[in-house]
């Protein structure tokens, strides 16, 4: 009977250990399928990668950019579908290059961080043209990465609220475009819309290399505000698919680690708004007062915090404009171009 009990305990322990084993790819990052997104076994791997200090210490080597397809030209610039490497994954990106005489030190660059569109419907070539074209036609090389799992990019999509994957993909995009021919590596700015604003804010506390940053309708609230935002969207049934998967993990993180009020050390460690003193980059923030997707006070609160820290920053509210700054998108992008010109075309 004793032997039987020992064998049963041993078998149970083996099964329990097996259930908590994280499968790793050759790049040592968790391989997460859609069927496992709600299981607590993946949380330790995801959470550890979210630490701001860990992100600052991580290497982002990027790779050579490969042109896969020449697209139809823009008004005064060439367009290409390209790929680069991030964590061993092939990531697609849109690359635009101005026509005309290249400046002595190369063209200035805008790294473009797009917002959330369901990964399967996001298009490298067509999504966000309304915001990319004004930048590209103003004499900038624009580099707009997909992030993993978006469109035909390799990997599993994991939003920046629960994983550092998209941030890693954007940082590797930065390292890649910095080495591209015709680029002035000292004049690179970054643009982020919505979810891309969250990615951009992370990058600004990771590196001092960007000369200017634009955050438009950004998801840039602190962790307490983000948790409230996710809960509101769930209650109002405004999220589904990949977005719902992300919400389930956000709530699981809260269950396992407590709230920002009860366990501030954990949440502060992964909150870029708690590391604003690391920022040295001038920032412009633009929002629409009628944005019903991302709270406007995310942006206003961030702006107030930047001002308190003495960080060069502008804030512009477009009355009656929505999440995409419509009907004032053209005016907002003109302001964006003017802002970048100030810092990238001296």
pLDDT tier at 22 (50, 70, 90 boundaries)? very low
Q: How far apart are CA 285 and CA 296, in angstroms?
A: 11
How do residues 278-316 score in pLDDT, each as one tens digit?
Answer: 999 999 999 999 999 999 999 999 999 999 999 999 999
What's the rounded Cα separation, in Å, for the pair 118 and 246? 12
Query: What does DSSP assign to residue 102?
Result: P
What pLDDT, in 10s, does the model give residues 130-177? 999 999 999 999 999 999 999 999 999 999 999 999 999 999 999 999
All structural domains of the chain: 25-344 (3.40.50.1820)
Averaged pLDDT of the chain:
88
| Separation of CA 274 from chain center | 17
Radius of gyration over every alpha carbon of the chain, rounded to an integer in angstroms: 21
Give pLDDT, residue 241.
86
Owner of token pair 């473009």? 112
Residues facing residue 77 across a β-bridge: 98
DSSP conformational letter for 24: B
* Phi, psi at 16, each rounded to 5°: -65, -40
Per-residue pLDDT, 16: 37
- Mean pLDDT, rounded, for 184-195: 97
Percent above pLDDT 70 for the chain:
86
């Amino acid at each position: 009977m004793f032997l039987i009990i020992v064998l049963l305990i041993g078998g149970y322990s083996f099964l329990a250990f097996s259930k908590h084993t994280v499968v790793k790819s050759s790049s040592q990052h968790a391989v997460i399928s859609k069927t496992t997104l709600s299981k607590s076994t993946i949380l330790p791997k995801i959470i550890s990668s979210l630490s701001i200090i860990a992100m600052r210490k991580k290497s982002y080597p990027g790779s050579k950019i490969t042109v896969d397809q020449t697209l139809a030209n823009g008004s005064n610039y060439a367009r290409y579908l390209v790929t680069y490497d991030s964590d061993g994954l092939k990531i697609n990106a849109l690359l635009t290059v101005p026509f005309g005489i290249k400046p002595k030190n190369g063209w200035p660059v805008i790294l473009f961080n797009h917002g959330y569109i369901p990964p399967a419907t996001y298009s490298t070539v067509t999504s966000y043209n309304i915001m990319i074209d004004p930048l590209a036609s103003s004499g900038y090389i624009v580099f707009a990465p997909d992030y993993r799992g978006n469109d035909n990019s390799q990997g599993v999509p994991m939003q920046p609220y629960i994983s550092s994957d998209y941030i890693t993909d954007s940082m590797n995009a930065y390292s890649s475009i910095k080495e591209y021919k015709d680029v002035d590596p000292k004049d690179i700015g970054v643009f982020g819309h919505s979810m891309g604003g969250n990615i951009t804010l992370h990058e600004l506390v990771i590196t001092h290399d960007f000369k200017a940053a634009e955050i438009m309708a950004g998801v840039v609230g602190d962790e307490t505000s983000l948790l409230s935002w996710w809960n509101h969207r769930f209650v109002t049934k405004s999220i589904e698919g990949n977005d719902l998967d992300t919400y389930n993990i956000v709530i699981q993180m809260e269950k396992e680690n407590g709230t920002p009020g009860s366990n501030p050390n954990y949440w502060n460690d992964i909150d870029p708004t708690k590391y604003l003193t690391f920022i040295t980059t001038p920032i412009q923030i633009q929002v629409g007062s009628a944005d019903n997707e991302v709270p406007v006070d995310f942006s206003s609160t961030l702006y107030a915090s930047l001002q308190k820290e003495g960080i060069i920053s502008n804030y512009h509210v477009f009355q009656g404009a929505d999440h995409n700054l419509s009907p004032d998108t053209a005016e907002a992008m003109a302001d964006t171009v003017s802002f970048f010109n100030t810092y990238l075309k001296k």
